């Protein structure tokens, strides 16, 4: 019998007493039990067992004990199949521990040692420098017998010689749509060369490891649109177009390159970061041409290339870092300097937040070092050592810095100085930028928990650096209503926007938001700034509150996808909104067909009645699909171009009107019914600035009978009828 260590808590002895037998310890004078052998139910890895024995003198006396579960005994060695590895229980229960998918590196799992089966391939000899000695083999493609081609495993040797290359065009996908079959490639360490266009058009390829490869030839992975990342070791050659149009590649890491080709990473729109190790001295020309979303770039100690406009795309670059061992450059907080940090070399164009120029910098004079068009910089500190700002680039130092709200000026340069023409700031600094000294408190906040940045003194929202898809603006700023500063949310990546009551959208506040599809302005919003949603090319739906009073010029210009605009009020209430120009309405956005306006839930009808408001706002129905309108009771004025470029054919003009200059220009208007006499009309038109209709429009006057063919009255159905 196996020896067990029994825990007191697991022992349960049960004595069933008969008429003539008692336990010697419990009943003085009783007999001593004559126990039989233990009978046992064996425990398993997870379940307790048991054992019991019976008194031979009195079988009603039974002693029982629990046998604890054994627990698993995991093997030290790995067990595996083609997809996973695990430790198995040696007690034979079949349980698995630490099960996980293989981590394949160079054809073998780095955890358990499972080795992939080499693919059946075709080869060609690679000759040495003497032209006759076979030094190895190059893979030329799949063997015709292979039917499953989703995984390529290149072996270390073939015919007792090393496999050293993938030949030119070996897996070239000549189909116009590319080859989706090949998904993974595993290369032996012996493979040093990837030939020209070797994997051209392999659109299904997502995984490849090339740390031992020294040459990636021209166009090797051209058009591999499914490739997610590239990790390269130290290369002798990285050929032209090597990763051209790898549209899914998000990151890359290159340890070193001696010969860096041209346009290597061109047209890789998903690429956001690139890291170049100590072996990279320079990049090839136009290496990232049209790779417009590159956000961060880092370089090792050997990089010495001058920063020119084709080095990498500037527009979306947020940070640039270099090794502290670099002999030419230094970086601080993502900004590039010369090694001594006496010159500012480059502030990335999409740098977000505050830039504190390092103390010791004496010159900001290069056109690459200026803050020109840095749209996400919120504050700049100029050091006390600075002697030159902008050089000969008049008005350029801060021009186009839409979110810049503060300059902490520690230098002796007067950044508020007017230019020589007396009509602008010498350095392009906007008039509302706060210029302060070090002793004064900053008026620009750090991003809060939600990513909002504030101009604290004015209570303005000046930037958003968060990542919300459905963005809801704060209800207030420290209990007060606020303004979204000009361009504060421009080019942000959210897909929907909600603007709470009391918030005012400044000029171009949300312009060029390429992903913005829906906007909701809550009740209480009264004003939309000029160009607020300009060029939001994905915008399809807007919700406008009854409280809206003013919409700035060009608010929805170039919103080519806009289809629906929902206004909470009636048609008459909508008519009272003042629009800055014809591109402020939803009828002139550039969309085809134009957007449909809904008022109080109903689509704008072709025939409208406007009454109960004193004024129809400028451009209110400019370009609208309205064929007739009644300007009724209480309406005193019709604003500039209110019905211009519309489909309006007839209009009833109420007797309360006092002004409607140029309201119907370039419309389809043919007939005007005036609720007054010809004398009243003539008085209204006594000054050209008060009232006018385009030439060729016939005006009828409200009379009780025909009056020279120009009289009209209301018919039985309430519509105008000519006598």
Instruction: Output the pLDDT for position 30.
Output: 61
CB count within 10 Å of CB 603 equals 11
Q: Is residue 291 assigned to a domain? A: no
**More confident site: 621 or 707:** 621
Together in a domain, 577 and 684: no
CATH no. for residue 457? 3.80.10.10
CB count within 10 Å of CB 374 equals 23
Residue that finishes a domain, picked among 393, 415, 440: 440
What are the tens digits of pLDDT across the range 208-244? 878 889 999 999 999 999 999 888 888 999 999 999 9
Instruction: Output the pLDDT for position 49.
Output: 94
Do 553 and 592 meet the contact criterion of CB atoms below 8 Å apart? no
* CA–centroid distance for 688 within its chain: 53
CATH no. for residue 723? 3.80.10
Query: What mean pLDDT is reported for the chain?
Result: 90
In whole angstroms, how far apart are CA 52 and each of 14, 18, 66? 10, 18, 9
Give the E-state strand segments of 446-503 in sequence order: 452-455, 460-464, 470-472, 483-484, 496-499
Query: In angstroms, how far apart are the furthest CA atoms of the chain?
Result: 144
> Rounded to whole angstroms, how far apart are CA atoms 59 and 442?
93
DSSP H or E run through 219: none
Instruction: Output the pLDDT for position 377.
Output: 97
Find the mean pLDDT for residues 536-565: 96
Together in a domain, 595 and 621: no
Together in a domain, 435 and 469: no
Instruction: Output the pLDDT for position 347.
Output: 92
In whole angstroms, how far apart are CA 457 and each of 377, 461, 492, 672? 18, 11, 24, 53
DSSP 8-state assignment for residue 252: E
Q: Please report, rounded to a whole number, the percentage of residues in the chain having pLDDT higher than 90.
A: 74
Do 246 and 269 meet the contact criterion of CB atoms below 8 Å apart? no
Together in a domain, 509 and 658: no
Do 215 and 237 meet the contact criterion of CB atoms below 8 Å apart? yes
What are the tens digits of pLDDT across the range 434-489? 999 999 999 999 999 999 999 999 999 999 999 999 999 999 999 999 999 999 99
Together in a domain, 474 and 588: yes
Do 483 and 504 meet the contact criterion of CB atoms below 8 Å apart? yes
Together in a domain, 622 and 719: yes
Q: Is residue 65 assigned to a domain? A: yes
Q: Show the 3-state SS of 691-714.
A: ECCCCCCEEEEECCCCCCCCEEEE
Instruction: Output the pLDDT for position 3.
Output: 40
What are the tens digits of pLDDT across the range 653-708? 998 999 887 899 999 999 999 999 988 998 888 766 667 788 889 999 998 876 66
Find the mean pLDDT for residues 109-134: 92
Together in a domain, 453 and 548: yes
237 bridge partner residues: 215, 259
How long a stretch of residues is the chain?
723
Stretch among 196-200, 349-353, 363-367, 534-538 having the lowest mean pLDDT: 363-367
Residue that finishes a domain, picked among 440, 455, 479: 440
Do 33 and 43 meet the contact criterion of CB atoms below 8 Å apart? no
Together in a domain, 540 and 670: no
Q: Is residue 145 assigned to a domain? A: no
Q: Is residue 559 assigned to a domain? A: yes
In whole angstroms, how far apart are CA 157 and each of 123, 135, 196, 233, 390? 11, 11, 22, 22, 62
Q: Is residue 671 assigned to a domain? A: yes
Domain tally, the chain: 4
Q: Does residue 28 surpass a pLDDT of 90?
A: no
What are the tens digits of pLDDT across the range 327-341? 999 999 999 999 999
**More confident site: 368 or 99:** 99
Together in a domain, 468 and 586: yes
**More confident site: 251 or 86:** 86
Together in a domain, 476 and 561: yes
Q: Does residue 579 surpass a pLDDT of 90?
A: yes
In 278-294, which positions are buried (b, 16+ CB within 10 angstroms) versus exposed (e)?
Answer: bbbbbbbebbbbebebb
Q: Is residue 309 assigned to a domain? A: no
Which pair of tokens denotes residue 344?
């500012």
Instruction: Output the pLDDT for position 289.
Output: 86
Residue 53 belongs to domain spanning: 1-71
Instruction: Output the pLDDT for position 108.
Output: 83
> Rounded to whole angstroms, how far apart are CA atoms 376 and 314?
13
Together in a domain, 594 and 655: no
Residue that finishes a domain, picked among 37, 56, 71: 71
Q: Is residue 280 assigned to a domain? A: no
Q: Does residue 9 surpass a pLDDT of 50?
A: no
238 bridge partner residues: 216, 260
Together in a domain, 554 and 695: no
Q: Is residue 285 assigned to a domain? A: no
> Rounded to whole angstroms, how far apart are CA atoms 701 and 681?
8
Backbone phi and psi for residue 453, each to the nearest 5 degrees, phi listed first: -120, 135
């Amino acid at each position: 019998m196996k020896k067990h260590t029994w825990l007191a808590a697991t022992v349960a002895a049960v004595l069933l007493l008969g008429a003539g037998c008692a336990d010697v310890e419990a009943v003085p004078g009783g007999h001593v039990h004559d126990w039989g052998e233990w009978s046992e139910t064996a425990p398993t890895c997870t379940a307790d067992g048991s054992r019991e024995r019976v008194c031979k003198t009195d079988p009603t006396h039974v002693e029982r004990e629990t046998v604890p579960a054994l627990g698993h005994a995991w093997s030290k060695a790995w067990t595996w199949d083609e997809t996973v590895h695990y430790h198995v229980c040696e007690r034979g229960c079949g349980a698995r521990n630490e099960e996980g998918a293989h981590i394949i590196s160079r054809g073998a799992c780095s955890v358990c040692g499972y080795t992939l089966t080499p693919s059946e391939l075709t080869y060609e000899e690679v000759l040495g420098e003497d032209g006759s000695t076979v030094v190895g083999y190059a893979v030329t493609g799949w063997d015709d017998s292979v039917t499953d081609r989703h995984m390529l495993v290149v072996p270390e040797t073939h015919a007792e010689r090393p496999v050293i290359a993938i030949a030119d065009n070996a897996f070239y996908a000549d189909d116009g749509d590319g080859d989706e079959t090949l998904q993974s490639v595993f290369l032996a360490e012996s493979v040093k060369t990837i030939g020209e266009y070797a994997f051209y058009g392999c659109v299904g390829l997502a995984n490849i490891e090339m740390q031992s490869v020294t040459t990636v030839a021209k166009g090797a992975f051209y058009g591999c649109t499914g490739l997610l990342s590239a990790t390269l070791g130290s290369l002798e050659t990285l050929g032209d177009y090597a990763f051209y149009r790898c549209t899914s590649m998000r990151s890359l890491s290159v340890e070193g390159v001696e010969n860096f080709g041209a346009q290597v990473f061109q047209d890789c729109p998903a690429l956001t970061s690139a890291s170049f190790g100590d072996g990279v001295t320079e990049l090839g020309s136009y290496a990232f041409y049209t790779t417009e979303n590159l956000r961060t770039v880092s370089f090792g100690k050997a990089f010495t290339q001058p920063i020119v406009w084709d080095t990498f795309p500037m527009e979306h670059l947020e940070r640039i870092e270099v090794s502290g061992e670099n002999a030419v450059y230094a970086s601080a907080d993502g900004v590039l300097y010369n090694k001594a940090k006496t010159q500012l070399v480059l502030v990335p164009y999409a740098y977000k937040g505050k830039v504190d120029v390092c103390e010791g910098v004496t010159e900001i004079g290069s056109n690459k070092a200026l803050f020109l068009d840095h749209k996400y910089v919120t504050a700049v500190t100029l050091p006390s050592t600075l002697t030159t700002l902008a050089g000969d680039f008049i008005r350029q130092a801060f021009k186009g810095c839409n979110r810049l709200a503060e300059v902490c000026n520690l230098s002796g340069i007067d950044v508020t100085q007017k230019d020589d023409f007396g009509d602008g700031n010498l350095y392009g600094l906007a008039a509302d930028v706060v210029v302060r000294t070090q002793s004064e408190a900053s008026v620009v906040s750090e991003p809060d928990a939600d990513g909002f940045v504030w101009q604290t003194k004015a209570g303005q929202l000046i930037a958003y650096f968060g990542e919300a898809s459905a963005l809801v603006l704060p209800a207030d700023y420290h209990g007060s209503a606020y303004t979204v500063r000009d361009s504060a949310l421009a080019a942000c990546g959210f897909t929907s926007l909600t603007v709470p009551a009391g918030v005012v959208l400044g000029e171009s506040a949300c312009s060029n938001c390429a992903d913005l599809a829906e906007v909701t302005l809550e009740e209480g919003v009264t004003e939309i700034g000029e160009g607020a949603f300009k060029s939001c090319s994905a915008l399809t739906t807007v919700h406008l509150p009854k409280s809206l009073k003013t919409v700035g010029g060009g608010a929805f210009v170039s919103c080519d996808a806009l289809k629906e605009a929902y206004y909470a009020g009636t048609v008459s209430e909508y008519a009272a909104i003042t629009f800055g120009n014809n591109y402020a309405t939803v009828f002139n956005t550039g969309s085809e067909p134009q957007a449909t306006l809904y008022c109080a839930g109903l689509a704008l009808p072709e025939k409208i009645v406007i009454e109960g408001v004193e004024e129809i706002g400028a451009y209110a129905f400019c370009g609208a699909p309205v064929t007739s309108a009644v300007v009724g009771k209480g309406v005193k004025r019709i604003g500039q171009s209110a019905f211009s470029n519309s489909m309006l054919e007839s209009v009833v003009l109420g007797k309360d009107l006092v002004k409607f200059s140029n309201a119907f220009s370039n419309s389809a208007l043919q007939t005007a019914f005036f609720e007054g006499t010809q004398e009243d009309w003539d008085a209204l038109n006594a000054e050209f600035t008060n009232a006018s209709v385009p030439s060729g429009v016939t005006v009828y006057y409200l009379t009780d009978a025909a009056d020279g063919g120009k009289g009209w009255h209301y018919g039985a159905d309430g519509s105008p009828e000519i006598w």
